[in-house]
Every structure is written in structure tokens, then in C-alpha cells.
Amino acid sequence: MSSTLLDAPQYDPRGERRRNLLIVLVLAVAVLAAITAWMNRNWPEEHVAKQFFAAIQAQDYEKAYGIWMHDSDWKQHPDKYKNYPYREFYADWGPGGQWGLVKSFHVDGSANPPHGGSGVVVVVTVNDRAERARIWVEKKDKTLTFSPY
């Protein structure tokens, strides 16, 4: 026996409503995930800057220098860092440096340079000063330097 259009079951809109709701939900989650990823795209670089300033705040300047150079074993080969030796680093970041004794800091955020680049500028408030520290963090090797911006 064949069925005809007159024998068709009654239309039930619940199935289509569920499908539409599922599509909207998946799209909303995808948009939320994309926004979250975009907002946290520089998190690794901000994290390195936070570790650096935490070491400076703890007055562990040797550890901070290791973070700056991204080499925890820098003492084994100090000649590798002749361009910015530890004594210059200590003069810049030690108690007598531009920022003085770091008692507090807050990573305010980061920015990618306007014309691209290999790193990120991380902006940090040090000792509640109005002037912000700007640290350049290389994306590929997480070395730090003074920001050119």
C-alpha cells in the first residue's frame, strides 16, 4: 500500500525549533570562543612580563635577568650576553634604576605594533606611578627588551 499526501502525518514544529535553537547556540559559542581567543591572544607575552616583574619585586635580579634573556642558565655562559650584561641590567632594574625598588606592579595589557612585528608591547604600572613601563616581548622566544614604542 502506498501513502499519499493526504495520509501524511501532522506537521510538528518542535523538531525544527530544536534544530534552529541548536544552530543559534553553536554560533553563539563559536563567537564567544573567538572573542575570548582574540582578547587573550597576547596572554603568553603578558605572563612572561608578569613573571619578570614578580622577580624584580622579590629582588631576585638574577632570576629576572634570566627571564629577560629567556635563559635560566645565563650564568653558565655570560659572554653570550655582552650586548646587555648583567651589571647594566642591574643598573637599569635594580634599586637605583629608573623604577626604583619595585613594591607593586600591575600588567595593564598589551598591544601589537601598528605595522606588524615580531613581538608585543606589554604595558605595566609600577609602584602606582602615572608613567607606565613598556616592555617588548618577542613572540617566538619570549626574550624581553625595552619597547621601541
pLDDT tens figures, 88-103: 999 999 999 999 999 9
Per the CB < 8 A criterion, the answer to whether 93 and 64 are in contact is yes
CA atoms of 38 and 33, how far apart (whole Å): 9
Return the ∠ at Cα 107 (arms to 111 and 96), rounded to 5°.
Answer: 110
Per the CB < 8 A criterion, the answer to whether 52 and 146 are in contact is no
In 3D, which of 49, 67, 131 has the Cα closest to residue 98?
131
Query: Could you tell me the three cell numbers for 51?
Result: 613573571
- Tell me if the domain spanning 43-146 has CATH number 1.10.10: no
| Res 117: pLDDT | 82
pTM to 2 decimals?
0.80
Per the CB < 8 A criterion, the answer to whether 57 and 105 are in contact is yes
Q: Over the stretch 19-56, which tens digit does the pLDDT of each residue have? A: 899 999 999 999 999 999 998 899 999 999 999 999 99
Instruction: Write down the mean pLDDT value for the chain.
Output: 91
DSSP label of 119? E
